[in-house]
Amino acid sequence: MTVTREAPRAWEGVAPSLVLTPAVVAHRGASGHRPEHTLDAYRTAIRMGVDDIELDLVATRDGVLVARHDLELSTTTDVASRADLGHLRRTRTVDGVAQRGWFVQDLTLAQLKTLATRERMPVTRPGNTAYDGAEGVPTLTEVLAMVGAESLRRGRPVGVLLELKHAAHHDAAGLPLDVPLLRDLARHGLDHPWARVVLMSFEDAVLRRLAARTRLPIVQLLEAGERVTDELLDGIDEYADGIGPHTSLVLPRDPWGAIDAPSTLVREAHRRGLTVHVWTVRGENRFLPSNLRHGEAPDALGDMAAEVRALLAAGVDGVITDHPEAALAALREVRPSG
């Protein structure tokens, strides 16, 4: 099977998903409004009304899971200004890419907790820089405690999607991510199948290990440009409950970067009972399909709502986004009762 484009259809028509109401998931929190992976970003997303927050997990030198997308810290913290940590700067190869900087795996939790977070994309999102330095790097257990408190406060459960980053790299460093992950989840009473927790990774080895040790839902993430075949989906179905494809695998872009009809990926996944959560929907022109951009400025906001409507029309079960308020508004337009 090769995933192909379906015949064009109106974006406003909605194909059936595997869930009653597709989820809006805040990517690294409301990262279009606050520096990513901060408690403020997560709380802002929950205040907006998201169903779930998504966070990436890496491990400190002493094996504590913290919320960072990258192991290297200089783009999202003030570590480069810290003379007392200068001796920890080094070159590491992570997933085949050599990088120079300060890496989470080289700092203890105590050292990491002395850092202040900052906006990753200050040119694209200058408004977020007003919050630079306001917070530190949160641990997984701190995020889980906050989500539990916010769920009680607002009278509705908020879920978490947990992505394990650079799992094989951590294994090689003697810091397997799945061990502290399951320990932290058990500590918070979230190690049962009806907990609002989903486990994700691009690496199937760690997901297969987790599938043998937990009944929590497993999602296999798929890169842009990945060739999706019957064999691939059948293999994923052996250990996972869903897939997390890049948006371009569901809404292919033409040579000019525009989208039209969806591919058959959602249909093929649903045929196997696999849910589909797409990543990452962002509001700025530079991230949008060319036919949904407004004006020429790359950092101006375009018609993200149209991309969300197109994804919902393709039948996705969840949209992972930096701008959850716009995605929620689009969902209400398409499914008023949701």
Tell me, what's the pLDDT at 5? Answer: 54
- Asked if residue 244 has pLDDT above 60, the reply is yes
Q: Are 78 and 116 in contact (CB under 8 A)?
A: yes
Q: pLDDT category, 7, cuts 50, 70, 90?
A: very low
Q: Are 206 and 182 in contact (CB under 8 A)?
A: no
Tell me, what's the pLDDT at 17? Answer: 79
Please report where in the chains the tokens 């337009």 appear, as a residue. Answer: 333
Cβ count near 170 (within 10 Å): 24
DSSP type of residue 7: P
- Predicted TM-score (pTM) of this structure: 0.94
Nearest to 116 by CA among 103, 141, 139, 134: 134
H/E segment holding residue 40: helix 39-48
Give the integer Cα–Cα distance in Å for 234 and 83: 51
Peptide bond into 117 cis (omega under 30): no
Mean pLDDT value of segment 311-330: 97
Mean pLDDT value of segment 224-244: 97
Alpha-helix residue ranges (DSSP H) falling in 139-177: 140-154, 167-172
pLDDT, tens digit (0-9, with 9 covering 90-100), for 247-277: 999 999 999 999 999 999 999 999 999 999 9
pLDDT, tens digit (0-9, with 9 covering 90-100), for 189-225: 999 989 999 999 999 999 999 999 999 999 999 999 9
Domains of the chain as residue ranges with CATH? 23-70+137-334 (3.20.20.190)
Q: pLDDT category, 337, cuts 50, 70, 90?
A: low
Instruction: State what percent of residues in the chain have pLDDT above 90.
Output: 91
CA distance readout (Å), 38 to 44, 140, 146, 219, 338: 10, 11, 11, 23, 28
Give the integer Cα–Cα distance in Å for 26 and 36: 10
Give the integer Cα–Cα distance in Å for 262 and 264: 7
Tokens of 301: 């906001």
- Asked if residue 8 has pLDDT above 50, the reply is no
Q: Which amino acid is at 229?
A: T
Alpha-helix residue ranges (DSSP H) falling in 263-334: 265-271, 304-313, 324-334
